[in-house]
Structure 1
Amino acid sequence: MELLNHAAHLYHSFSHLSHSLSEAHDEMLPTAFHRATETVTHLRRKLPQHLATPRVAIVCGSGLGGLVDLVDAEGREEWKYEDVPGFPKSTVVGHAGKLVFGTMSETKIPVVLLVGRAHFYEGHSMDTVTFATRVCKVLGVETMLLTNAAGGLNSAYEVGDIVCLNDHLNLAGLVGFHPLRGQNEEDFGVRFPPLSDAYDLSLRQLAYTSWQQLRTQQPSNRKMHEGVYAFVAGPTYETRAECRMLSNLGADVVGMSTVPEIIVARHSGMRVLAFSLVTNKAVLDSVPKGDDPSLQGLSREQLAERLSRGVANHEEVLEAGKQAAIDMQGLVLRIVGQL
């Protein structure tokens, strides 16, 4: 009995020591604010004064890297992500992975563009996924304009349509993969930030005004909608059943990015405007059943073709981005010019 009591005492002492060491280790780690500040200091050593405090940050999603062409060529400064402290190397096709500083529109508004982003499905932590957003805050950014490629769940949406986001479903966050999980970064915001006002109403009004101006000058069949974005972890595209579930939950589009950045941007007090480019229509129909009489006698190839109808692929995403690039660029340029 004495031996057991001694063993229990040793275990308790070891557990207490381990917990204390863990707390001490956490306290020694630099905060996200400290790391973001170090990154900003590094960037500002090389930036001219008029670009050192950009007012607007623009995140360019899959196939939308062409937005960088909106930045004035004269005086533009660029870094590859791997050359920026704290930034991960971009691994996704269609994401150039570079940070671009410059001015935009006739009013020469200082902006920073994030051409490509880090995704949770690449194996990054939520802290890494949202680090660039925190850097934008420390830089002095007031407004974040985010774009992404997304699958259309709403049957009224067509490939190539643009969706101005007004709400989201954070599926990954609801099961624990939340960008604000852990000790709160008081230098950025409060412990429990509200998100019912995440999508700035005045910015959405400006988006509609800008879209109407664009359509008047450049007529097109492309439509702009307003809807809800469902964030899923990826990297697989959603099953038919998952698409039906998301649609029933109220989502209009679905994708694998943007929401963590929006949450951190709002936590930091930045205004948010976000757009999804519909690059494919999600398949909501149930899968063909094995006992369907209409399928009897078809070859394996014919059955595979039937099952694959509407299947999304990354090449389709990039192609839709190319086709919509001109309209998206015109819309963004008009919005930034009026901020």
Structure 2
Amino acid sequence: MAEPVGIVLGSGLGPLADRVAVTKTVGFAEAGLPVSSVKGHAGRFLFGTLGGREVIVMQGRVHLYEGHDAKAITAGVRWFYEQGVRHIILTNAAGTLNEDHAPGTWMMLNDHLNLTGTSPLEGGPNFIDMTQVYDAEAMLEFHSLATERKVLLHEGVYAGLRGPQYETPAEIRMLRAMGADAVGMSTVLEAIQARALGMKVSAFSCLTNWAAGMSPEELNHAEVIETGAAAAGEMMGLLEAWCGL
């Protein structure tokens, strides 16, 4: 039997779990994990199937800005590994820095910038090659499925910051100069931990808003939740198709 795929759902993306045929639910606290205080993060694991494939869905995550350290933030990734997961799919809600990547669309990560100032591997000489963090074979599969399904799927670099404040226009200009296409407050530490465990990693950003200075609109979390929920169905169809390969 194939190993289960682990799927992490970010802010406002809880509805992505609606197509999973759930057989068991385990709360974060029950699994010995910290529980998020952020709206849009249910804090539970769903065991079931998607597209005929066994999956474990993590609804929500905890963040550095809630006061957790890098080890606590990546506890879910290690728990996935203990359950037999060897391919993890990370999702997040992010601001878009790329003028060609409009809000309401999705971006598949092909690389990232870890600007959190920390790592889950701290504490020893845990040297991990990060040349190819995101699985190249899976990227090709997702692009092919997106083309078939007429889903607009961008590709780019994600910048992970600590938060909780949103970035200033000057910081956004800096990030664009560094090559970032999207910015958020999660994912990079989970990807690092997964690679350290030898797991395959895929990751997707729901681009919920223009980054600071790119639009006259004020940034707010409610918009993130609303846009994420609206775009969730499109990604769920793509994930379901991939799981059925």
CA RMSD of aligned residues (A): 1.6
Q: Partner of 2:179 in structure 1?
A: 250
SS class of match (2:116): helix
Aligned equivalents of 2:134, 2:227: Cα separation in 1:
25
Output the TM-score relative to the length of structure 1. Answer: 0.70
1:283 shift after superposition: 2.7
Aligned equivalents of 2:11, 2:239: Cα separation in 1:
16
1:67 equivalent to 2:16? Answer yes
Quick one: which of 151, 154, 159 aligns to 2:103? Answer: 159
Q: Partner of 1:80 in structure 2?
A: 27
Q: Partner of 2:231 in structure 1?
A: 324
Q: Partner of 1:110 in structure 2?
A: 54
Counting helix residues as a fraction of each chain, which structure ranks higher? 1
Asked if the contact 1:169–1:251 (Cα under 8 Å) also holds between the matched residues in 2, the reply is yes
Q: Partner of 2:40 in structure 1?
A: 94
The AA in structure 1 aligned to 2:16 is: L
1:130 equivalent to 2:100? Answer no
Q: Partner of 1:170 in structure 2?
A: 114
SS class of match (1:172): coil
1:109 shift after superposition: 1.7
Asked if the contact 1:54–1:112 (Cα under 8 Å) also holds between the matched residues in 2, the reply is no
SS class of match (1:83): coil
**Deviation sequence 1:224-280 (CA, Å, 0-9, x none):** 110000000000000010011001100000000000000000010000110000000
1:172 shift after superposition: 1.5
Aligned equivalents of 1:276, 1:227: Cα separation in 2:
10
Aligned equivalents of 1:313, 1:337: Cα separation in 2:
36
Within 5 Å, which residues of 2 pair with 1:188-207? 191-207=126-142
Q: Which has the bigger relative contact order, CA under 8 A and spacing at least 6? A: 2
Q: Partner of 2:147 in structure 1?
A: 212
Structure 1's unaligned 5+ residue stretches are 1-49, 185-190, 216-221, 286-307
Output the TM-score relative to the length of structure 2. Answer: 0.96
Q: Partner of 2:64 in structure 1?
A: 120
Within 5 Å, which residues of 2 pair with 1:245-284? 245-284=174-213
Structure 2's unaligned 5+ residue stretches are none
Counting strand residues as a fraction of each chain, which structure ranks higher? 2
Aligned equivalents of 1:235, 1:183: Cα separation in 2:
28
1:54 shift after superposition: 4.8
Q: Partner of 1:336 in structure 2?
A: 243
1:223 shift after superposition: 2.4
Q: Partner of 2:121 in structure 1?
A: 180
Asked if the contact 2:166–2:219 (Cα under 8 Å) also holds between the matched residues in 1, the reply is yes
Asked if the contact 1:282–1:310 (Cα under 8 Å) also holds between the matched residues in 2, the reply is no
Within 5 Å, which residues of 2 pair with 1:39-54? 54=3
Aligned equivalents of 1:144, 1:170: Cα separation in 2:
18
Q: What percentage of aligned pairs have identical amino acids? A: 44
1:146 shift after superposition: 0.7
Asked if the contact 1:58–1:146 (Cα under 8 Å) also holds between the matched residues in 2, the reply is yes
Asked if the contact 1:54–1:139 (Cα under 8 Å) also holds between the matched residues in 2, the reply is no
Aligned equivalents of 2:191, 2:85: Cα separation in 1:
13
The AA in structure 1 aligned to 2:41 is: H
SS class of match (1:317): helix
Asked if the contact 2:146–2:152 (Cα under 8 Å) also holds between the matched residues in 1, the reply is no
Aligned equivalents of 2:168, 2:97: Cα separation in 1:
12
SS class of match (1:68): helix
Of the two, which has the highest radius of gyration? 1
